[in-house]
Homo-oligomer: A and B are copies of this chain.
Amino acid sequence: TTVRLDHHRGLRKHFPEIIYGPGKNEEELQKIVESFLEKESPFLVTRISEKMAVRLKNRFPQLEYYERARLLGVKPEGSLVGQVAVVSAGTADLPVAEEARIAAEYFGNRVEAIYDVGVAGIHRLFPELEKLRAARAIIVVAGMEGALPSVVAGLVDRPVIAVPTSVGYGANFGGLAPLLAMLNTCAMGVTVVNIDNGVGAAYFASMINHMLEGENGKKRS
């Protein structure tokens, strides 16, 4: 068989399995979904195309599908813990911000979403400072010039995980502009994940949040 069960992720205790959607054909995805449903294990497929998601949902109605976030999965049971914030700059960053938000909930985190607070209207950020300070980790999603993580990290003393998005045009080069901006941040307390990698940011934020919860080591679902 061409798909090897990715047991190493089982080493991480409290998170469901994460499957990368692109490049897998319908038959392969069906088998993966079936195997998780059988062992009643939660899981999350990322970057699933609408066409593929609809076909799988027709076959397995218990699946949850999030169109804008391009996610498909079965959520773990159990209560959410702590606090993670997802901040986004513009409407167009929504698919990535939603991917981060929903994935973080799948990973067992209470999430506060603070959207559409880009730096061109920085005053919109100030009413949100309390919510930001309440979070144990802050995911900041931004395209265009990617300046928002620097500003947030300058205002709030919390770990900021910056997610550049491929939103933009011209000299944006598919997200290269905000990626470089975020890597070059003059603010301390910022790290960066790949362009559009909402789920990676959610995973990292969840690690921090769960370590603080003292739950680290306990398996969810």
Please give, as numbers and ranges, the residues of chain B lying within 8 Å of A179 by CB-CB distance: 170-171, 183
Q: Is the CB of A188 within 8 A of B147?
A: no
Which of the segments A9-17, A34-42, A52-60, A71-79 contacts the partner chain? A9-17
Please give, as numbers and ranges, the residues of chain B lying within 8 Å of A80 by CB-CB distance: none
Stoichiometry (number of copies): 8
Q: Give the distance in Å from the alpha carbon of A116 to the alpha carbon of B3 in the complex.
A: 6
Please give, as numbers and ranges, the residues of chain B lying within 8 Å of A120 by CB-CB distance: 6, 8, 150-151, 153-154, 185-188
Give residues of chain A (143-179) contacting chain B, Cβ–Cβ below 8 Å: 143-147, 150-151, 153-155, 157-159, 161, 164, 166-179
Is A221 interfacial (CB 8 A cutoff)? Answer: no
Q: Is the CB of A115 within 8 A of B4?
A: yes
Q: Give the distance in Å from the alpha carbon of A15 to the alpha carbon of B188 in the complex.
A: 11
> 18 additional contacts, CB 8 Å, given A120-B150, A145-B186?
A3-B91, A6-B120, A9-B121, A18-B188, A20-B92, A23-B91, A119-B147, A122-B122, A144-B186, A147-B147, A171-B175, A171-B183, A171-B194, A177-B180, A183-B193, A191-B191, A191-B192, A212-B212
Q: Which residues of A does B touch, CB under 8 Å?
A: 2-4, 6-9, 11-13, 15, 18, 20, 22-24, 28, 47, 89-95, 115-124, 136, 143-147, 150-151, 153-155, 157-159, 161, 164, 166-197, 200-201, 203-204, 207-208, 211-212, 216
